Chain A
């Protein structure tokens, strides 16, 4: 288990945002600004707090998943260790279990449901868009490939062994 820092930022409850009464004058604003609730330094002083790094096996597996060579593993362990201490803050936070994570998308939350007739209408009214390259007979799939043969992509000596 990695050590978790951020003792400064206590557990939260949700919906704690507030708008306070109007500031009376500049002096009151200055006093407000001069009374900090937390410190930037708390984010930046974690160098000594990473007591347990992710395992070599974990890092090698992640590198493979990422399509990257298994090199500089020790350096990556250290970087990932710092990052994970930082991100593990999330584990300590309360969250309303009813919150729908789909609403994290910045799109209308309650769009009009798509119906069968909408799909049929969209299919029947499709038009070619030349600006998207939708021109009959124009598509050359290997046009930008460095290596191709007879209209096919070429993959060199890359037979994967399923383990």
Chain B
């Protein structure tokens, strides 16, 4: 990417913002920063020089507000940069702005933002959903104003919008990228993801961000990373053993999506890759497991927003009817409030064992099921790997193509499960922390993606496999 090209892209940002509502705030010094990087003459030494990026607005930045697209943080300025923001700056990338999202990452349409819905650049003038929650990050890439964008993926929030905008959306293994400075929604799932149109860009950015961080105790430490190196294949496998999970081919998927999925299978088979039927019976229970655990973690994480120490505070009262901080917490959006209430239901003493603990146990069994079908060992669980197992799994990323914003909102208001179902193909990998990438099924802007999934830690195999499709 040349400096001239980067500056030209910056010039398109205002029009794109007006049309698709991509950003929550813009870096007005971006051009200056690009030129300064160029003058420093460090192009060769810095792997991301002249690359423009966008950062999801739930990742802390010192120089731009960090709002989580919530009224409750609408004027919040973080006193520090997230670890990954520092790493990107050091590598030469220039941030164009913070991107819109479903408030605190809670949503799959990109419609639940205090700043209004993001619109899908694939359908100009049609008000179609981008998918969420990393809606602005996906739209920024799709509209070609950045080279890559960072999102966060809790239950599919990078992969779903990637599928709906026909771009690549990579969720690495949980713990490979530091979460220090990433505002928690559900900390046992939250994973920083990378979106781009170029797999080589995703690989470069991942190399920069894939570092241990003592500031994040869930980030893989050096000894685990060393252990990982001992089990990973030393050379890229030219012929992969690919599993197709039976549970990922339910009825109700549009025939056009199934056709595109099969065309990718055909493409891969023609290159000599081998296909195997897989059964992972627990996969279809992933949604209720996920929607038991994630809101419980969210209820705990969002308890901190009381307005006393930072953020928006009610101008008159700190309590209402003996409910402390209720006037300030009224500034949460409806979806966030609903998930907090559900989370507290799951954590309350009457339901804790039947819901929360049961979901935790089912999550463990799902992880073990994944272990039993992969050839590679799992350094976290101690699984030795299945010698007859597969290298990667292949499935669709989403159950359908994007709908209009009004249709999405109508379905959601009738029954929240209608929108939760969008995550059905993405939550199993989030529960197990597996590396996954959504890849478009064609180069003509088809909003249908397929998902490549690898064993925990085998991110490189997942990324390398993209080259056989895209």
The yes or no verdict on A and B being binding partners is yes
Decide if B299 touches A66 in the complex (CB within 8 Å). yes
Contact between A87 and B292 (Cβ–Cβ < 8 Å)? yes
A22–B269 Cα distance when bound, in Å, is 12
Say yes or no: A155-B308 contact (C-beta < 8 A), given A22-B274, A68-B329, A86-B420: yes
Closest chain A CB from B458 CB (angstroms): 15
A57 within 8 A of B: no
Determine if A66 and B318 form an interchain contact, defined as CB atoms under 8 angstroms apart: no
**Separation of A79 and B224 alpha carbons in the complex (Å):** 43
Q: How far, in angstroms, from A84 to B247 measured CA to CA in the complex?
A: 23
Q: Which residues of B contact A131 (CB under 8 A)?
A: 80, 215
Are B360's CB and A104's CB within 8 A?
yes
Q: Is the CB of A12 within 8 A of B285?
A: yes
B319 touching A160, Cβ below 8 Å: yes
- Name B291's contact: one of A18, A46, A83, A141 (CB within 8 Å): A83
Contact with B along A63-91 (1 / 0, CB 8 A): 11111111000001001101110110111
Interface string of A10-48 (1 = CB under 8 A from B): 001011111111110010011011111111110110110
CB of A146 within 8 Å of the partner chain: yes
Give chain A interface residues in 109-134, CB to chain B under 8 Å: 109-110, 129, 131-133
How far is A45 from B93 in the complex, measured between Cα atoms in Å? Answer: 47
Q: Which residues on A sit within 8 Å (CB–CB) of B382?
A: 109-110
Contact with A along B312-347 (1 / 0, CB 8 A): 010011111111111101101000011011101110
CB-CB under 8 A for A18 and B319, given A68-B329, A82-B415, A104-B360: no
Quick check: is B243 within 8 A (CB to CB) of the other chain?
Answer: yes
B417 within 8 A of partner (CB): yes
Residue of A nearest to B266 (CB): A26
A89 and B285 contacting across the interface, CB-CB below 8 Å: yes
Task: Point out the residues of chain B lying under 8 angstroms from A143, CB to CB.
Answer: 79
Picked from B188, B215, B247, B417, the residue with its CB within 8 Å of the CB of A106 is B188
B417 and A67 within 8 A (CB): no
Q: Which of A30, A40, A69, A144 contacts B79 (CB 8 A)?
A: A144
- Complex CA gap A54/B278 in Å reads 39
A146, B341: Cα distance in complex, Å: 27
In the complex, chain B residues whose CB is within 8 Å of the CB of A9: 284-285
Stretch at the interface among B29-37, B102-110, B133-141, B384-392: B384-392
Distance in Å from the Cβ of B370 to the closest Cβ of chain A? 8
**Cβ-based interface call for A149 (8 A):** no
Contacts A32-B249, A43-B287; is A69 near B323 (CB within 8 Å)? yes
11 pairs, CB–CB < 8 Å, chain A vs chain B: A14-B365, A15-B372, A17-B280, A17-B281, A70-B321, A83-B417, A99-B365, A104-B363, A144-B310, A145-B308, A153-B308
Known: A108-B224, A158-B318. 8 other contacts (CB 8 A): A20-B276, A21-B276, A38-B251, A38-B284, A68-B337, A82-B415, A87-B288, A87-B291
Shortest beta-carbon contacts, A-B, top 10: A40-B252, A101-B360, A20-B277, A144-B310, A106-B433, A158-B319, A36-B251, A17-B369, A104-B360, A104-B363
- Write the residues of chain A forming the contact surface with B, with a CB cutoff of 8 angstroms: 9, 12, 14-23, 26, 29-30, 32-41, 43-44, 46-47, 54, 58-59, 62-70, 76, 79-80, 82-84, 86-87, 89-91, 93, 95-96, 99-101, 103-110, 129, 131-133, 141-147, 153, 155-158, 160-161
